Structure 1
């Protein structure tokens, strides 16, 4: 077994790196290639952090002064890893009408003043 203090330090490093990548993902999105690479690195780092947090739970290690949050934080890291690979930039997920694009296309014409809408 590895020394617990070394695992604790590696866990803090992996979680810190994941947070920094998560914060700066919008900066990386200026280039599609760089954004994809950052998403993959974030996914790998988050999975490593989740594995290390799980190992800390197994060895009764301490993460920032607590032993109770290791499993919960490992689950959150796993969710972030899965979510990091979802590239939703520019895709219409709801498949509904976006009022901004409809207005830009000119499909919505303003109602003339004084027009009464009849109820059926």
Structure 2
């Protein structure tokens, strides 16, 4: 399983168990996704720290209502512009494009398709 999938699962499991924080492994894609989470107020903040030459991310969780993974590492789902309009009404939907990880609203403006990662409602 990719690291950012496991980091997002850690955040969801921490929130469901009543914790307000989570410690995740460092990954550059996780930092990008956490940036989108901060913009949409899903998490309050995140910090990077070092322990014994390993890098970790400390995440302060705000609220997560529902998160749906569409793409699994073994079965990717790709969206073009026509298919993206069906997902545009959902909360926060992230796509992995050739530019980088973008939300679906920016992808529609730029008219770029990509691999569907997940949605947060």
Which structure shows the bigger proportion of residues in helix conformation?
1
Q: What TM-score does the superposition give when structure 1 sets the normalisation length?
A: 0.23
TM-score calculated relative to the size of structure 2: 0.23
Report the structure number with the largest CA radius of gyration: 1
